[in-house]
Structure 1
Amino acid sequence: MKIALIHYRLILRGGLERRLFNYTNYLLEQGHEVEVIVAKRSHDAQLPEAVKVHVLSPGLMPKVFRQRYFDHLLGKFMQQQNYDLSLSLMRTSHQDLVLCPGNHLGFLKAMHKKGNRLTDKEQIRCDKAAFRQSRKIIAASEMMAKELRELYHIPQDKIHVLRPPVNLAHFKPGNKVHRDAYRKKYNLPLDKRIFLFISSSHFRKGLPLLLDCFRQLQDTDAVLVIAGLPPVQSELPNVIDLQYNTQMEELYAAADFTIHPARYEPFGQIVPESLSSGTPVIISDTCGAAEVVGPDEGRILPATATADWLHTIRNIQTSDFNIPENYAELHSLSVAEHVEAILAIGKTTY
């Protein structure tokens, strides 16, 4: 099959960007012809030579309108192409299938925002066009499927729930044998409980709550390690900021827990990545990935209940958990199963 994958940017960071690379590599391995269509790309983000990349740049268009203009350029481009299947990982409206890794109305509702800004209106407009024009929508969680039905009035038969996959070549329990070596590599203490926080949207993902908690935990062996952007300036001795890191499998292996008190998280790919690496999680009940976390794998807490998070961080131990080594397979989270399910959904659109 000749398959088009559409995304706004081709870069090396971010959950959706990892999925773009995972999808591309798997489809190539299965003998498909893959073309990638983006608005911009980073020169250090290299796809296999067999992949043709089309860059449809919005140029000097004001930022608030760039996604809309990219969608316009995409529409003109797609009229000249003949793909067997097209999948968009973003808010576009000229493809067969579209991912719903999140939506703006759900975000506004969860964050108690009115959405009166121009940027809010544009994102909602793009969401509605993408969900209306695509033949099928692939929701990242049951939480997203519910929001599609209730906030966007999408019929159930148009929605399929496929949780984001995990690259099991990178994220695996065997990495834990290198725990001490990775801690030394990143100058992390060997004798402390490490709580790993991964984020590129610190407020939404709960960093203020964590800093409040760790301010009160300086008398314990708990250390917060932050991986992501933007950089975090903290004077707390039990907070370490590693900033962005491309070797996330090493950080999961070095950590005792992955912690994610998100106020709104449509899925949270770091959750299955962490669990596939043998590292238990502490996450909020407003995280879509809570659907695949049981008592052997982690703890689920109210998103803004600081006292609950403080108590849990103070007392939790790795011995409280027993994560199955085949966690990803038990929840159908391998890249192979995920992409084959997408192809099966695509066949229903012919």
Structure 2
Amino acid sequence: MKIALAIFQLETLGGKERDCLAIAANLQRRGHDVTLVTTRAAPGQLPLAIVPRKGFSNHGRARHFAKAVMAYRSRHKPDMTLSFERVPGADFHYAADAAVALRMTGAASLLPRQRTYLRLERGVFETSRTRFFFLTQAQRDQYAALYDFDPAQGTVLPIVLHEERFDATRATAARSATRGQLGLPSDAIVALAAAVKPKQKGLDRSLEALARFPNLHLVSAGSTDSWIAEQARTLKIEDRVRILPYGANVMDLMAASDFLLHPARAEAAGQVIAESMLAGRPAIVSGICGYAGEIARSGAGIVLSEPFDPRDLAAAVTAMLERLPAMTAAARIEAERLQSQRGQWLSVIADALEKSSRS
């Protein structure tokens, strides 16, 4: 079967991009002819179809990309198209983001940016043809409340964890070795923040909280945006913050840390939350995170109430420090459960595409 996977870019690998590559590789292993339709990508092992990146704004580029994908589909006629962006007319849509319609309030609803994204979203969800993959049940319910689609069109995926994370969990560097490389005291309590988009994932909130706890250290992995170091200096905590670029071995950092700090502003699911539990590390997460329910169910951390209040985050860090052994034990139990689900999310997607091609 010829399958086209459409994603805007593959230069910077956030969660959505990593999911796309993992799905593509799995489909290829199952014998399918897979092509990645994108505007930019680093060299890799999978066939690429590069379409022009047009437009002077993000929403303009999103609109042009949707048209380019459908033009590619019309020309090359793949048996199935799975899009990771809002592309009306695709056979399948991977809902990696929260619904745009939720943000259509007040003056923001009048902006061209919001109106464009909303038109694209409506084009995806207000059609009887496209089928959807959702990261969590809460996300599926959110979209169902906004758009009247047949429940049979939406599949909620098992928790998303990548194969290399399972392998890395078994081969993590010694905790003391990683701490030594980072210049962290061997006996320090260390929080980890991991995000390619640090503001969206609440890194500024984490830095503000860190200033309240003079014995707590923070490793920030995923971005070296200049504001991170500037904020750390302003708060006089730069000696307790390690800033690492994207590409660092997250599971090694998990093993070297004591808990995850993830007070995100937007997070459809939160793979880093699942990775934290896989590593046996508890987490403090925002209630808006899709996988926050996994933290609440397992007891492997603390879920912050919405709307966000910095006093709640400070209280959560205090509670984490006081109850760290018990929460770590709960996270380790959850890690064993996640090991039994290895690869399930990839199989669910591949099975759905194959079944659809036969019907």
TM-score range, shorter chain: 0.7 to 0.9
1:308 paired residue number: 312
| SS of residue paired to 1:80 | helix
Partner Cα separation in structure 2 for residue 54 and residue 166 of structure 1: 27
Residue identity over aligned pairs, in percent, reads 22
Which TM-score applies when normalising by structure 2?
Answer: 0.85
Q: Deviations over 1:134-170 (max 9, x none)?
A: 5211111122111211123333222211155212333
Higher normalized helix content (fraction of residues): 2
Which TM-score applies when normalising by structure 1?
Answer: 0.87
| SS of residue paired to 2:316 | helix
1:152 paired residue number: 147
Q: Deviations over 1:300-331 (max 9, x none)?
A: 2224233332133234254112223433245x
Deviation at 1:31, TM superposition (A): 2.2
Deviation at 1:217, TM superposition (A): 1.2
| SS of residue paired to 1:169 | helix
Partner Cα separation in structure 2 for residue 189 and residue 154 of structure 1: 54
2:350 paired residue number: 343
- Change beyond 3 A, Cα 1:239–1:116: farther
Mapping 1:198-217, distance limit 5 Å: 198-217=194-213
Deviation at 1:61, TM superposition (A): 5.1
| SS of residue paired to 1:90 | coil
Partner Cα separation in structure 1 for residue 92 and residue 59 of structure 2: 24
Partner Cα separation in structure 2 for residue 151 and residue 187 of structure 1: 49
Q: Deviations over 1:14-43 (max 9, x none)?
A: 1111112211222222222211111222xx
Mapping 1:244-263, distance limit 5 Å: 244-263=246-265
Instruction: Specify the code of the residue in structure 2 equivalent to 1:96.
Output: D
Q: Deviations over 1:197-238 (max 9, x none)?
A: 1223334322333222212112xx211222233341211323
Partner Cα separation in structure 2 for residue 149 and residue 170 of structure 1: 32
**Are the counterparts in 2 of residues 265 and 288 from structure 1 also a CA contact under 8 Å?**
yes
Mapping 1:78-117, distance limit 5 Å: 78-105=73-100, 108=103, 114-117=108-111
Partner Cα separation in structure 2 for residue 345 and residue 174 of structure 1: 31
Instruction: Specify the code of the residue in structure 2 equivalent to 1:207.
Output: L
Partner Cα separation in structure 1 for residue 181 and residue 253 of structure 2: 10
Alignment partner of 1:55 out of 50, 59, 71: 50
Which has the larger displacement, 140-149 or 290-299?
290-299
Q: Deviations over 1:79-106 (max 9, x none)?
A: 1223232211111123211011123435
Higher relative contact order (CA 8 A, sep 6+): 1
Which has the larger displacement, 339-348 or 112-121?
112-121
Partner Cα separation in structure 2 for residue 301 and residue 59 of structure 1: 40
Partner Cα separation in structure 2 for residue 101 and residue 163 of structure 1: 14
**Are the counterparts in 1 of residues 173 and 252 from structure 2 also a CA contact under 8 Å?**
no
1:187 paired residue number: 183
Alignment partner of 1:223 out of 186, 209, 217: 217
1:38 paired residue number: 38
Alignment partner of 1:299 out of 285, 297, 302: 302
- Change beyond 3 A, Cα 1:308–1:46: same
**Are the counterparts in 2 of residues 227 and 243 from structure 1 also a CA contact under 8 Å?**
yes
**Are the counterparts in 2 of residues 192 and 222 from structure 1 also a CA contact under 8 Å?**
yes
Mapping 1:231-246, distance limit 5 Å: 231=226, 232=228, 233=230, 234-235=232-233, 236-237=236-237, 238-246=240-248
Partner Cα separation in structure 1 for residue 57 and residue 108 of structure 2: 23
Please tell me whether residue 140 in structure 1 is matched to residue 147 in structure 2. no
- Change beyond 3 A, Cα 1:265–1:13: same
Which has the larger displacement, 124-133 or 100-109?
100-109
The CA RMSD measured in Å over matched residues stands at 2.5
Partner Cα separation in structure 2 for residue 297 and residue 257 of structure 1: 10
**Are the counterparts in 2 of residues 5 and 34 from structure 1 also a CA contact under 8 Å?**
yes
- Change beyond 3 A, Cα 1:265–1:95: same
